[in-house]
Structure 1
Amino acid sequence: MQNFNIDQFLASDFDGFRVEIDSDHERGDIVLKRPPLNVIAMPQRDVLRQVFEALDAHPAVRVIVLRAEGEHFSSGGDIKGFLEASPEHVSKLAWNVAAPTRCEKPVIAVNQGYCFGVGFEFSLACDFRIAAHSTRYALPEQNLGQIPGSGGSARLQKIIGIARTKHMVMRAKRISGEQALDWGIATECVPDHELEQATEALVDELRRFSPLAQRTAKKLINDNEDAPLAVAIEMEGHCYSRLRSSNDFREGVEAFHSKRKAEFRGN
């Protein structure tokens, strides 16, 4: 995908969201904008996947942010769309929602108000979740005679364990942003008016590090999630050895000894 094609694609008039690129801060934002609840339509999920992939390939973007306009992040999916979608389309839902996880770059979800269903599942697929005090997380599919279908219960169980996942999934329970922070779902929980400030701070923090080391750490952690400890340690050692020969590592060591700020190039 050529750079001008990426820019042209990201400038498209998307249904239910828009894309913003801040080259000065090396930040690419996907902004949900289907008021008042930012419902995520069925076809929108595949397009969101393509946008995540395009931002991951964009040379001006170091950090990807998924956020929303208005009072709520997302109340979930278009319920009617589930009955109308073909089995083939439904079978791709989890792959589309997993796009943030597959991105090499760090991805931040910024949540406020309702963060339900597929909105929560997209957020769980991100690397970091910043919750506002108003945030309410839920997987309410039991109310429809259904279960989460895009990785929600699976990812949640990895984070909070079987008992709490059953509490949220089997009882369709909502939890607050503060409780999500306590349970390890959210990285931070801040007052609503500080949400953008907290996002900017995290973006700037992540930009300080080597892009190569960031990519390596993300892939290593994701790949080792189910690996036995001995295998995980072995893989960590291999990745560490590869990074030792990188220009970024040399720059980091030299900057440390010179007591100056490192200028990482990602190679």
Structure 2
Amino acid sequence: MGQNILIEHDAACTVLTLNRPEKLNPLDWSTVRELKEAVNQLGAGPPVLVTGAGRAFCAGGDLTGYIGLYKRPEDFRAFLFDFRDMLVAIERSERIFIAAINGACAAGGLELLLACDIVLAAQDAQIGDAHLNFGQLPGAGGSQRLPRAIGSLRAKHLMLSGRFLSGQEAMDIGLANEVVPGSELMPRARAFARKLVEHSPGGLRGVKHLVNQGMGMPLAEALEFEIDYVHRYATTDTDATEGLRAFAEKRQPAYRSFKG
């Protein structure tokens, strides 16, 4: 593992920090591979916070590096697949991913945000697509995830205009769940993670799986999928019964460890 990503573990969360602050934490090919490896190695466990070092979350890709990649079409295709696979790994992970947007979040940074489950933004964050500001197009799922998150009209407006949103504006259109002062962002993200750890690991995993998988299905199919999943969870996962027993016995539930 290189040093483009810093990894910190504690009982409540894992923190993945993009760590090239002098370049505003670009998602160049080496960083994408490093982040992909980090995500794939996580396994089951408590929530994951994703943030950026310095004054940016992630300002996008390595624009200078793209010039060389475009001259090597097969390498560029391989980069796009690595980027896509890294974001899909986040979506398919059993862990809950919380994006803590501490500053500039553009292009590839926005695509990373969209793959996460929860988004907390600083008030002075700057969030936008911005690909067209440099004659580029989103290639890691941005043109597909963004309209699913905020609707096609808003998504096209954000992509075509290239404008940036404040944290509050992002929350107003559904790109963020909470907005806090910048100095409170990481304490709030850690507190949110600690609250999640109080819930059932199986339940958290189930909510993420139901929503992410169901969104790609027609409604009738998704409703059948939900019944099958919930039936299996309720009849096989001990956390489901433990939650009910704890309620009946007026005590805190003793759910399974996040390590298992």
TM-score by length of 1: 0.89
Report the CA distance between 1:68 and its aligned residue: 1.5
Report the CA distance between 1:230 and its aligned residue: 2.0
**Partner SS, residue 265 of structure 1:** coil
Higher relative contact order (CA 8 A, sep 6+): 2
CA deviations over 1:191-215 (Å, ceiling 9, x no partner): 1111122102210121111111211
1:87 aligns with 2:76: yes
CA deviations over 1:103-130 (Å, ceiling 9, x no partner): 1111100002100111111111000110
1:19 aligns with 2:7: yes
1:45 aligns with 2:32: yes
Mapping for residues 164-203 of structure 1, pairs under 5 Å: 164-203=154-193
Q: Distance in 2 between matches of 1:91 and 1:197?
A: 34
Equivalent residue letter for 1:91: L
Equivalent residue letter for 2:57: F
For the 8 Å contact 2:57–2:105, the answer to whether it is kept is yes
1:65 aligns with 2:53: no
Report the CA distance between 1:46 and its aligned residue: 1.6
Q: Distance in 2 between matches of 1:47 and 1:89?
A: 15
| Matching residue of 2:72 | none
Q: Distance in 1 between matches of 2:227 and 2:149?
A: 25
Structure 1 unmatched ranges of 5 or more: 1-11
Q: Distance in 1 between matches of 2:133 and 2:190?
A: 36
Equivalent residue letter for 1:202: F
Q: Distance in 1 between matches of 2:136 and 2:199?
A: 42
**Partner SS, residue 56 of structure 2:** coil
- Pick from 44, 52, 76: which aligns with 2:60? 76
Report the CA distance between 1:134 and its aligned residue: 1.0
Q: Distance in 1 between matches of 2:101 and 2:16?
A: 13
| Matching residue of 2:98 | 108
Residue range with higher mean Cα deviation, 183-192 or 228-237: 228-237
| Matching residue of 1:4 | none
**Partner SS, residue 73 of structure 1:** strand
Report the CA distance between 1:139 and its aligned residue: 1.1
CA deviations over 1:126-149 (Å, ceiling 9, x no partner): 001100001111111112222111
Equivalent residue letter for 1:233: L
1:241 aligns with 2:243: no
1:160 aligns with 2:150: yes
1:140 aligns with 2:124: no
Q: Distance in 2 between matches of 1:179 and 1:209?
A: 30
**Partner SS, residue 98 of structure 1:** helix
Equivalent residue letter for 2:243: G
Report the CA distance between 1:223 and its aligned residue: 0.9
For the 8 Å contact 1:20–1:30, the answer to whether it is kept is yes
Q: Distance in 2 between matches of 1:129 and 1:212?
A: 21
CA deviations over 1:139-190 (Å, ceiling 9, x no partner): 1111222211111121110011111111111111111110111111101111
For the 8 Å contact 1:42–1:82, the answer to whether it is kept is no
Equivalent residue letter for 1:52: V
Q: Distance in 2 between matches of 1:247 and 1:52?
A: 27
Report the CA distance between 1:229 and its aligned residue: 2.1
Q: 1:147 to 1:214 in 2, by over 3 A?
A: same
Report the CA distance between 1:226 and its aligned residue: 2.9
Equivalent residue letter for 1:66: V
Equivalent residue letter for 2:164: R
- Pick from 32, 35, 55: which aligns with 2:18? 32
For the 8 Å contact 1:99–1:125, the answer to whether it is kept is no
